[in-house]
Amino acid sequence: MTKSLTRVALVVLTLFAALLVNVNVIQVVQAESYAERDANRQLARDFSVRRGAIRAADGADIARVQETPDQLRFLRVYDGGPLFAHVTGFLSPVFGKTELEESADEALSGAGNAIDTFADLIANREPVGDTVVSTIVPEVQEAARSALGDRRGAVVALDPASGEVLALWSFPSYDPNLLTANTPETRAAWDALQADPARPLSNRATSEFFAPGSTFKLVTAAAALENGLDPNTQFPDPRSLDLPGTDALIPNFGGSLCNGGQPLNLFDAIRVSCNTAFGQLGIDVGGVALATQAERFGFTTTLGGQMPRVAPSQITTPELPPEQIDAATAAQTAIGQRDVVATPLQMAAVTAAIGADGILYAPRLVSRHVDAADSELRRFEPAQVSQAVSPATAAILTEAMIGVVARGTGRQAQIPGVEVAGKTGTAQRGEGQNPNVWFVGFAPAQDPRVAVAVLVEDGGGVGSEATGGQLAAPIARAVLQAGLARP
């Protein structure tokens, strides 16, 4: 009996040893081979199957396939090239996929539609991926490109009532057609893009952070109003605000008085973008209230998760939780400086939420999926992320933003016959650096069809005296006009 048990034990140990050796062989010796097989299967799926198109909102293809006689049977073609590059992204046999090509890959490749795949197999039909219809309106996208011109920056336009992205422009851009093959020219193009200090491959609209400057005063004002501030409360009008516990101060733009030395209320403070009033508001409401309000507008989140690769905007660093924000830091935070960083998409979302009676809708680049016969397979409906502010607070902020464009720092965003609500921003970047400048707004003010955020980097060629009202507001006006003209 003992000998039998010993034999069984030896057999079991031998099997375990063999299993262990096999696992190590697979994980160490053959790992590269298996990875290569997986990569080859992925290449076969991406380039041997007729991938679905990506369309603009008007039905025009902005990404499609072209059949070739080569091993990679179907290569991507991007109509419009750089115009839609940060919307479609690229599909490359060498460098992978980005943006909608990545986030909508299951639909585009057909891998997400098991029923159709099975039916194709039974009927011996060639599989075809689904077409993804985007929300991008070409005329609004073109307006964003033309208005920003050759200045580095980004423009985002949203429909406030649905979250649909009407335009998403990041400059510099690039031509994704240069990356779709596997040739020496493809690799040379990639190397050049990677080496470019202007970072054309980077999507500034959704993935890069910038101090929002005075556009963040909308969040500060919202926090104060949601915590009981009467908008007619009077603030003093010094040239600068001493920061408690420090030797530092917050000056007004140019060291000037905001209201000739006379007290001013919240409407006045927003209209002239008064730093001292908002610094004091930050001290009064505190870091926790500012952080809570920012989060209701989508800060620290992916804004509902319906966009490719959204970088969450931040109000503070991980090392400084909101409850530890002191008065001086709260004052600097309240004017959109210190540790506050935001993407242009985030600031467009804040603005759109104010225009939508305080409701934040998830920004969305895709409206629906259709099959090869244009039959609808899936429709994406507006998704509410949060009630960022009450309708009453949204109405007060809208009234104040109307004043900015009608009589304040945002006059260059005026559109004849249309009431525009907006806010300018000029974000300082440190000694010797030109500011980044902003404009956010929506129109028509009382029933908005389009909201916009414009960022112009590094003074936009103007230099250290650049302001949001001077540079970003006219760009916003052109984009708002294009958005209002759409059907």
Residue ranges making up the domain that contains 341 = 207-365+381-485
Q: What's the whole-model pTM score? A: 0.89
Whether 405 is covered by a domain: the verdict is yes
Query: Considering the chain, what percentage of its residues have pLDDT values greater than 70?
Result: 88
Write down the residue that tokens 């508001």 correspond to: 281
pLDDT tens, position by position, 56-83: 999 999 999 999 888 888 999 999 999 9
Among candidate residues 92, 134, 170, 214, the one labeled active-site is 214
Strands 366-370 and 376-379 come out as antiparallel
Q: Which amino acid makes up residue 371?
A: D
Q: Answer whether residue 72 is part of any domain.
A: no
Is 161 inside a domain boundary?
Answer: no
User: How many independent structural domains does the chain possess?
Assistant: 1
Measure CA 277 to chain center: 29
More confident residue, 25 or 345: 345
Is 117 within a domain?
A: no
Which CATH number fits the domain that encloses residue 235? 3.40.710.10
pLDDT(16) > 80: no
Residue 387 within any structural domain of the chain: yes
For residue 77, give both structure tokens.
Answer: 């073609």
Residue 167 belongs to some domain of the structure: no
Residue 311 is classified by DSSP as P
Dihedral angle over CA of 444, 449, 453, 456, nearest 10: -80
Residue range 450-462, pLDDT digits in tens: 999 999 999 999 8
Decide if 91 is inside a domain: no
Active site residue 214: yes
17 band by pLDDT with thresholds 50, 70 and 90: low
Closest CA to 63 of 44, 84, 86, 48: 84
Would you call 157 helix, strand, or coil by DSSP?
Answer: strand
pLDDT at residue 25, as a whole number: 46
Which residues 6+ apart lie within 8 Å of 225 measured at CB? 231, 266, 389, 393, 396, 397
Quote the distance between the C-alpha of residue 242 and its chain's center: 35
* Domain-located, residue 169: no
Length of the chain: 487
Q: Answer for the pair 101, 91: CB distance below 8 angstroms, yes or no.
A: yes
The C-alpha atoms of residue 251 and residue 266 are separated, in whole angstroms, by 18
Name the DSSP class of 84.
G
CB 341 within 8 A of CB 290: no
Instruction: Using alpha carbons, select from 205, 198, 146 the residue that is nearest to residue 174.
Output: 198
What's the pLDDT tens digit per position in 401-447?
999 999 999 999 999 999 999 999 999 988 889 999 999 999 999 99
